[in-house]
Structure 1
Amino acid sequence: MTRWGLTVPLPGVSLPDHADIVRALPDLGYTDLWSAETNGTDAFTPLALAASWEPTLRLGTAIVPAFTRGPALIAMSASSLAQAAPGRFVLGLGASSPAIVEKWNGLAFDQPFRRTRDVLRAVRTALAGERVDGEFDTFSVSRFKLDGPPAEPPPIVLAALRAQMLKLAGREADGAILNWLASYDVAQCLAEVANPDAEVVARIFVCPTEDVEYARNVGRFMISSYLTVPAYAAFHDWLGRGEVLRPMHEAWAAGDRKAALAAVPDDVVDDLVLHGSPESCRDQVQAYAAAGVTTPVLALVPTPDGPPTLELLRRLAPEGA
């Protein structure tokens, strides 16, 4: 079964104003809500609200950073949501980025692979109702045990870029979360996950407008902001876009933001930020499912038409839903 997710909060919609939208989503064909955590809402609050508004949608975090909370606090928050939405919560963990961890939270972004692996192991142990006690590579925990763990521990999926983290997601987690990739990149990632039972979640940026110039301008801004982050730059080198993105990286490193924007090729924008009519966007998202993504999650990008409406969400939903 291919699920169909939506990233919340939606652009331009306040948290309280999501209530009626969330209640309508199952009838439109959506199965999942996935949160994000950058510089807006935290990962858990939108899902806690959704759990109280609608009793069937699956809820997932994409992602909770492995650095900005301790493993015990992550386990407590995940346990709370798993109890609020029994059998309907998925914990997504990831390394996040130096900007979020260091510049915004004043923490050292050291050994991101090991930190994410250690948090995964500690949190999984805690959610199973077991005591976490001992030394990990990147931290130590002394005798932590959840008081009243969830009856059904939630699955844990890892945000993964490149081979090492993708392999960890397939080996020790319940799946992987992919981000900032084209549908034809999925196969390369799945080859590293190497687990046919793993869930594969992909956050897919969707700008549902037929104003191509507008969509490409927004896409260039997003790409020059995100893909210049070292982890994403390395990811796209690994995917084979190193040469086509080199002019953007060189202009960005020189401090010329305008030149960096102009250097992003149209075909890269079109591959990574889907645009067109809602029906065209829906079909482009379906290509990810055809490539092996089990849970495509739409991340809507603001358009000139204002905040998303239920009619727009209906047109973006799977055909026949």
Structure 2
Amino acid sequence: MTVPLGGIPLADHAAVYAALDRAGFTDLWSSEVAGADAFTPLALAAAWQPRLRLGTAIAPVFTRGPGLLAMSAAALAEAAPGRFALGIGASSPVLVGDWNAIPFTEPFRRTRDVLRFLRAALSGATVDQAYDTFTIRRFTLERPPAVPPPLLLAALRPGMLRLAAAEADGVILNWLAATDVPRALAELGRRRAGFEVVSRIFVCPTEDAAHARALGRRLITSYLTVPAYAEFHRWLGREELLGPMWRAWAAGDRRGAGAAVPDGVVDALVLHGSPERCREQVRRYADAGVDVPVLALLPTPELTAGGAAALADLIARLGDAGTEVA
């Protein structure tokens, strides 16, 4: 499950994490946009739930210096030895440039360089090296983790997917349909033993299709108009389906952009229906080759009306029948 869950204070997540563990969820994965940072929710989980695996999906490679990113990862790996995975990625020009006042330049090379730096630093080595996008002078972690975390790379298109296959311990996919998974995995080629495929999957567990599709359209127009995601979906073959949305967005017609997103695209990218139906749809990702399907839970009318009791029931139903989801 993606954590933290919206509308619930971090201090109250102990009960949420316990419910997820009871329901059979195996992993907690954080994200980092404009809410909680990627590490704090997982640090709490490390103390509260000693069985759950933890991961960042993702920590951006621009918004922390390489040394600080290594320190944050090492601390969490020390707090949860053997059950933390560090997912990193380029993020986006909005988050990096507009919100953090950091130039978003050469994202591929920056991501590659940070990945290589982290591999060395988290092993306990002293890093004294000029990379293509930054230079590190004699950095050594004072507390290198006894069990270095696996390094996973967020990737969309062929270049980053191939980098993940060549140098990372896994890949993190996002904003793709189950039917898109084979196209992405084909770029990875033959994978090493232990290489993991993680995918974030947006889930709106309600039978109110109008609510789910309205929310899905807002998310799609927010995310898939970002250049990297737009090019990703062009690569996946959605130029004809999403071209009207992109053209309306470029013309400043936000309402028209949302209206131009076909129901079929929304339904493929934002799963909805009963919790049991959502679970069945998540299974399609696993069947297509995803090792760790990570649910990103979206608000529903039932959750809004039912509060904590509705959330507890939903978690139990999503994790029921022995289905292992993250």
Both proteins in one fold, TM over 0.5: yes
Question: Given that residues 211 and 276 in structure 1 are in contact (C-alpha distance below 8 angstroms), is that contact kept between their aligned partners in structure 2?
Answer: yes
Write the deviation string for residues 24-60 of structure 1: whole angstroms up to 9, x where unpaired.
Answer: 3222110000001000000000000011101010000
Offset, 1:317: 1.2
Within 2, Cα distance between the matches of 1:309 and 1:97?
Answer: 31
Identical-pair percentage: 64
Question: Given that residues 19 and 316 in structure 2 are in contact (C-alpha distance below 8 angstroms), is that contact kept between their aligned partners in structure 1?
Answer: no
- Say if 2:175 is the partner of 1:180: yes
Matches of residues 69-108 of structure 1 in structure 2 within 5 Å?
A: 69-108=64-103
Residue correspondences, number: 316
Query: In structure 2, the residue corresponding to 1:92 is in which secondary structure?
Result: strand
Q: Which residue of 2 aligns with 1:291?
A: 288
TM-score between both structures, scaled by the size of structure 2: 0.95
Within 1, Cα distance between the matches of 2:321 and 2:251?
Answer: 46
- 1:229/1:24 Cα in 2 relative to 1: closer, same or farther (>3 Å)? same
Q: Among residues 116, 120, 142, which one is paired with 2:137 in the alignment? A: 142
Within 2, Cα distance between the matches of 1:70 and 1:121?
Answer: 14
Q: Which residue of 2 aligns with 1:310?
A: 312
- Say if 2:41 is the partner of 1:39: no
Offset, 1:17: 1.2
- Say if 2:15 is the partner of 1:52: no
Within 1, Cα distance between the matches of 2:171 and 2:225?
Answer: 22
Q: Which residue of 1 aligns with 2:216?
A: 219
Question: Given that residues 202 and 295 in structure 2 are in contact (C-alpha distance below 8 angstroms), is that contact kept between their aligned partners in structure 1?
Answer: yes
- 1:21/1:283 Cα in 2 relative to 1: closer, same or farther (>3 Å)? same
Gap regions ≥5 residues in structure 1: 1-5
Within 1, Cα distance between the matches of 2:88 and 2:314?
Answer: 30
Matches of residues 159-170 of structure 1 in structure 2 within 5 Å?
A: 159-170=154-165
Question: Given that residues 171 and 195 in structure 1 are in contact (C-alpha distance below 8 angstroms), is that contact kept between their aligned partners in structure 2?
Answer: no
Within 2, Cα distance between the matches of 1:163 and 1:120?
Answer: 17
Q: Which residue of 1 aligns with 2:229?
A: 232
- Say if 2:150 is the partner of 1:155: yes
Consecutive aligned runs of 4 or more in structure 1 exceeding 6 Å deviation: none
Q: Which residue of 2 aligns with 1:270?
A: 267
Within 1, Cα distance between the matches of 2:175 and 2:320?
Answer: 21
RMSD: 0.9
Query: In structure 2, the residue corresponding to 1:193 is in which secondary structure?
Result: coil
Q: Which residue of 2 aligns with 1:300?
A: 297
The amino acid of 1:157's aligned partner reads L
Write the deviation string for residues 198-232 of structure 1: whole angstroms up to 9, x where unpaired.
Answer: 20000000000000011000000100010000000
Matches of residues 102-121 of structure 1 in structure 2 within 5 Å?
A: 102-121=97-116
Question: Given that residues 122 and 144 in structure 2 are in contact (C-alpha distance below 8 angstroms), is that contact kept between their aligned partners in structure 1?
Answer: yes
Question: Given that residues 19 and 315 in structure 2 are in contact (C-alpha distance below 8 angstroms), is that contact kept between their aligned partners in structure 1?
Answer: no
Within 1, Cα distance between the matches of 2:258 and 2:219?
Answer: 9
Choose 268-277 or 305-314, whichever is displaced more. Answer: 305-314
TM-score between both structures, scaled by the size of structure 1: 0.97
The amino acid of 1:277's aligned partner reads S
Within 1, Cα distance between the matches of 2:31 and 2:185?
Answer: 23
Query: In structure 2, the residue corresponding to 1:297 is in which secondary structure?
Result: strand
- Say if 2:31 is the partner of 1:29: no
Offset, 1:318: 5.0
Q: Which residue of 2 aligns with 1:130?
A: 125
Gap regions ≥5 residues in structure 2: none
Query: In structure 2, the residue corresponding to 1:298 is in which secondary structure?
Result: strand
